[in-house]
A and B are shown apart, each in its own frame.
Chain A
Amino acid sequence: MDTFVIQLLGGLSKGMILFVLASGLSLIFGVMRVINFAHGSLYMLGAFLAATVGAQFLGMGPSGFFLMLLLVPLIVALVGIVMETTLFRRIYTKEHLLQLLLTYGLTLLLSDVVRMIWGGEYRTLRQPDFLRGGFEIVGRKFPIYGLFVLIIGPLLALGLWYLLNRTRWGRIIRAAVANPDMVSALGINVRLVMTGVFALGCFLAGLGGALVAGQSAVGLGMDVNIIVEAFAVVVVGGLGSFGGALLGALLIGIILSFGILVWPGGAQLLPFAAMALVLIARPWGLLGRPER
């Protein structure tokens, strides 16, 4: 029973990080119809930034840490805005091979830039004092940082849900998903909406990276590994579906967490198996809708 609870908490915590990352990926796909390989690179960029500048903020206590969690994703979002306005904008109407290859080219470029700046060594972000250590639950220890991620995730999901469903901005975004031409005809600058959505998606990638830096080692190669897991999440939940990203992330997180317990050698396989299974049986995902 205690093992079950600990694995469940661990899985949910891993799932929350995946959700932060995948919700950005799904949002960008929903509006622009582009699958962005470089999303994992932005996550890695966020992680490296957090591991480097994070130490400067530690002296400021909890507020410093939250400031860092805001600042790092903002920098990543800025990089995203540059990418969107110079490159992505040109390929929205192109064939998906060209879209995939452009974002793959960016993946190569960004990971090399990270290597140029930070080198190949692993880094860690020292956890702030108020998040260090563990607490007892069902007679076992669970890291406080994991609990912190477990709280941040749902709050963020709630915030994003509110933004998308209860604000003017959200209405415009949802309208742009449904019919960009009509939105444009109504006098809304769709280009600006797209840049905004892209920036928001990249912000989320950066936030995911900044969050994970406090939890595990940051190193090269995390971009290409996490992106395929994020793909698994959005595919299982439904491409472009926000609720699907949450469901998919929690499912994949739990699958991974329990998989390691039951089948250590094959746990890594499970997200991809789930992804393939969903694509075969229900390509629009658990919560998505079939494409028009």
Chain B
Amino acid sequence: MQTLRTIPAWTWGLLAAVALAGLSFVLGEFQLILASQMLIAGLFAMSLNIIMGFGGMVHFGHAAFYGLGAYTVAILAKNYNIPLWVALPLAPVVSAALGAVVGWFCVRRVRLYFSILTLAFGQILYVIVLSVAADFTGGDNGIHGIPVPEIISSARNYYLFTLLIFTLCFVALFIITKAPFVLTLRAIRENAERAQFIGVDVRRHQLTTFIIGSFFAGIAGGLMAILNRFVGPDMLFWTTSSEPILGSLMGGMFSLTGPAVGAALLLGLHLFISQYTEFWPTVLGILTIIVVLAAPTGLVGLTDDLPRAARSAE
């Protein structure tokens, strides 16, 4: 193990990226689409976990920012014929901008009150997309037939494109989580009051985290819109927010990669289980209950595990 430890993290990352890219030559079309979905779900989960795992804020409205990214791409590309190369980069910008507004209010509330306030804002954005702005969003029907450039229209090319974006996002998030900023964030998560006393601007740090998370959720949503060539209001509904939360729970909330792995595995498990039974929600529900009850000391006890988690993250 000691020799493995000496290999720098970026080498492992590069190896993983190359291996994932190599997969594109092995997998069939169906598997490539699934693999793309897994990468997107992974990115969505990582974006949530920056807020929930690293920031300690349980966010129940994150789907709204994912959906906003998706609708940004869909509306610009379909309704206004704006090229995807312009529309996709705008998705995270829109999500981050709204994240800044919503986050500004939300970080002023703590714990349970934060969670239900994010839930309320998420539902507000959901209803806006569903009915208030139905002229732009297609209401209940969503937007079909999003035009996709020739070069990324095949399943293989789109998988490689998604992998490229995913890798860039991963690197960006990796750098963020290594920055002193995240250490401060951890201090806030453990004890916000104490952090405040030593002069940390708690709300500013939490708001920045909220915006970063919204930004990357927007990218994930934009990628999903292109993959499906379709967006629907359910992408913003509060139950969609549970998907990255459950992914993070299963994969481990106190690492960068854990949530991505967890979310991808859940997606794979969904597909696998669906071959045998149509009652996937039952399986997911039972799995969730088991994980929650089996979590040894609960997440409150994470303080004891933190030094170890911090070490293994290096």
Name A's B-contacting residues (CB within 8 A): 35, 87, 90-91, 94-98, 100-102, 104-113, 115-116, 224, 228, 231-232, 235, 265-266, 268-269, 272-273, 275-276, 279-280, 283
Contact = CB atoms under 8 A, between A and B. Distances in A.
A108 B291 CA distance: 14
Nearest to B279: A112
A112 B239 CA distance: 14
B289 A106 contact: yes
14 contacts: A35-B112, A87-B289, A94-B300, A95-B299, A96-B112, A97-B299, A104-B288, A105-B292, A109-B281, A231-B120, A265-B134, A275-B120, A279-B109, A283-B109
A90 B131 contact: no
A112 B283 CA distance: 10
Interface stretch (B38-46, B162-170, B241-249, B304-312): B241-249
Closest 3 CB pairs of A and B: A105-B288, A109-B285, A108-B285
A97 B120 contact: no
A232 B292 contact: no
Contacts of A231: 116, 119-120
B282 A113 contact: yes
A106 B242 CA distance: 13
Contact of B279 (A101, A116, A279): A116
Interface residues of B, number: 45
B259 to A, nearest CB: 14
Contacts of B105: 276, 280
Interface stretch (B7-15, B122-130, B192-200, B203-211): B122-130
Contact of B60 (A90, A100, A275): A100
A115 B285 CA distance: 14
For the complex, would chain A's binding face be called helix, strand, loop or mixed by DSSP majority?
helix
Interface string B132-170: 101000000000000000000000000000000000000
B266 to A, nearest CB: 12
Nearest to B280: A112
For the complex, would chain B's binding face be called helix, strand, loop or mixed by DSSP majority?
helix
A110, A111, A265: residue with the most chain B Cβ atoms closer than 10 Å: A265
A28 B121 CA distance: 24
Nearest to B298: A94
A266 B299 CA distance: 39
B282 A265 contact: no
A272 B127 contact: yes
A161 B112 CA distance: 27
Nearest to A284: B113
Contacts of A265: 131-132, 134
Contacts of B249: 101
B292 A35 contact: no
Contact of B288 (A102, A235, A266): A102
A111 B281 contact: yes
B97 interface: no
A266 B298 CA distance: 40
B88 to A, nearest CB: 28
